[in-house]
Amino acid sequence: MWNIFGEGPLNLASPDASPSLHNDGMHAWQDQALCAQTDPEAFFPEKGGSTREAKQVCQLCRVRDDCLRYALENDERFGIWGGLSERERRRLKGRAV
């Protein structure tokens, strides 16, 4: 079971959550999340840690757009979502306003 989404076992609001965490069963696209098949820790690197590995996985993920949209709409603060870091998502949101 994932928990990058909401109150599931893997809560994205928690630094311990991982994107395979991107699934609480409420969003069909989460079933296709490629990160579920990888090391979830790569999606929640320590401060200053590399995001390269996670972003490479996201590049190949078929639900990347859905994932990014979800993160933007839910103001996800931690981790890599849709191939973007928190800072990159903030920047993107700022441009969209």
Contacts with ligand SF4 by CB under 6 A lie at: 19, 22, 33-35, 43, 57-58, 61, 63-64, 67, 80-83
Name the residue nearer to ligand SF4 (CB basis): 17 or 34: 34
Q: Output the smallest distance, CB 34 to ligand SF4, in A.
A: 4
Q: By the 8 A CB rule, do 4 and 18 touch?
A: yes
- Between 22 and 89, name the residue whose CB sits nearer to ligand SF4: 22
